[in-house]
Amino acid sequence: MQITLKHTTAGLAIVASLLFFGCNAHKSDKKSTTTKAKVQQVATPVFNADSAYQYINNQVDFGPRVPNTKEHTACAQYLANELKRFGADVIVQEADVIAFDNSVLKAKNIIGQYNTNLKKRVLLCAHWDTRPFADHDRDPSKRDLAIDGANDGASGVGVLLEIARQINITQPNVGIDIIFFDAEDHGQPDHRNLPAIENDWCLGSQYWGKNPHVENYRASYGILLDMVGAPNASFYFEGYSMSFNPGLVNYIWDIASEIGYDYHFKKERGHTITDDHVYVTQLRNFPCIDIIQQVMEDRFDKNGDYINHSFGSYWHTHNDNMSNIDKGTLKAVGQTVLEVIYREN
Ligand SMILES: [Zn+2]
């Protein structure tokens, strides 16, 4: 993902319409809770951070999951099998997408559907591919090597696999679609000084947005998880998410606070980040918000050099490995998302 300082014009038009629609959509959901009192409230399951941690470790054990590699193919199989094991109807959407260097990536969006008979749906998503470069690593000789992506990629997927396991045990009163998007992190490398291009990130979600797995697919809202496992992570109000549906962002952050996780969920404005949620929202026309770690303070690395991005210092370096994963952070995010979906009626 990439920090974005400006919106596109087309994006702004859609943003304006969603701001209105999205807020009302969420409010009307709440209203229907009171009128349809007969729906049995389902108790929220307890999120198991040990399981999520293991699902992250299993992904990292494959090696970097870069499209067109055998590690990527093997991990795709693993993820589809896990979703099937947890009772989902699984679709693996295969797509040839074009990367920044005009190479063709054999991408796979892995989709798990629950309660397909229910019209009201919530989309939960994360990217599962890993960055083919370590363009922000301190060691220039290692910048062309793919990263483990324990947090950047595997953490969101690990949390969603644990949520899938819980859904299989206790169904919520809403249809859930889990999508692991591919080729999110294949954007142009920062260390090669190439000319700027547009839309080179989030290739899997761009493909799915134009070719959804269900015709005219629409959810009430979506939640994207990205970099949700680092120790002491802070999740701020991300800029696009706030422009898509500030009511939804506040609603989720309020739930996090209510169940004791305001240490991680900060009710303060963060940066605006191009990530899969932008394409989901713009192409499918429902609001998808991003839970993503950001660092808002100025920082310097061990050499005293200024860190010129707002992500953890491990971001797009070889330090994004299993030592960068903390069960407390996984628990905060996983329990919050479970709480959100089990409150739906
Ligand atoms: Zn990344």
Distance 2 CA to ligand 1 centre (A): 8
Q: What percent of the chain has pLDDT over 70?
A: 89
pLDDT, averaged across the chain:
90
Distance 66 CA to ligand 1 centre (A): 12
Q: How far, in whole angstroms, is CA 325 from its chain's centroid?
A: 16
Distance 278 CA to ligand 1 centre (A): 15
Distance 205 CA to ligand 1 centre (A): 14
User: 278: left (phi > 0), else alpha (psi -120 to 50), else beta?
Assistant: alpha
Pick the CATH number of 40-342 from 1.10.4030.10, 3.40.630.10, 3.40.50.720, 3.40.30.10: 3.40.630.10
Q: How much is the pLDDT for 11?
A: 39
For residues 159 and 48, give the distance between their C-alpha atoms in angstroms, rounded to a whole number: 9
Which tens digits make up the pLDDT trace of 108-139? 999 999 999 999 999 999 999 999 999 999 99
Whose tokens are 């090696």? That residue is 63
Q: How much is the pLDDT for 27?
A: 41
What is the mean predicted confidence (pLDDT) over 166-185?
Answer: 97
Distance 206 CA to ligand 1 centre (A): 16
Query: CB pairs under 8 A, 24+ apart, for 255-260?
Result: 255/336, 255/339, 255/340, 255/343, 256/332, 256/336, 259/335, 259/336, 259/339
Name the residue with higher pLDDT: 199 or 37: 199
For residues 128 and 130, give the distance between their C-alpha atoms in angstroms, rounded to a whole number: 7
Distance 145 CA to ligand 1 centre (A): 14
For residues 270 and 233, give the distance between their C-alpha atoms in angstroms, rounded to a whole number: 13
Q: How much is the pLDDT for 191?
A: 86
Distance 135 CA to ligand 1 centre (A): 10
Contact, 291 vs 340, CB < 8 A? no
Q: How much is the pLDDT for 301?
A: 78
Diameter of the chain measured on Cα atoms = 63
Distance 260 CA to ligand 1 centre (A): 28
Q: Which residues surround ligand 1, an ion (CB under 5 A)?
A: 152, 185
Distance 62 CA to ligand 1 centre (A): 18
